[in-house]
Structure 1
Amino acid sequence: MSIMNELTETIGEQAAIKLGQCLGGARVYIPRVIGNSHLITLAVGQESARAC
């Protein structure tokens, strides 16, 4: 399973696409708890970021 498929299953298609558009090609550390200022939160919003 690809990372895009896993993201889509976890945070939904629209959020996965938005994340790819904002951070595509970047190496991003995903902490256990994602804070409000983390790149993922800023890209897809708190609710989707927490689903990661």
Structure 2
Amino acid sequence: MVCFHGKDTSGKPLELIQHVQQLNFLLMVVSKPEIEATKRQIGFVGQVEE
């Protein structure tokens, strides 16, 4: 198993893991996308108000 550590062109860290059986993993940092969907209210159908 061989591990390479480095940075991509924008300076974010990444790691490449390779196994002798040709199994490869590239681990890299990505930012979480911001979804602008309206939030749904959770509750029971036909809820009775007091």
Structure number with bigger Rg: 2
More strand by share: 2
More helix by share: 1
Structure ranking higher on relative contact order (CA contacts 8 Å, 6+ apart): 1
Question: Structure 2 length as normaliser, TM-score?
Answer: 0.18
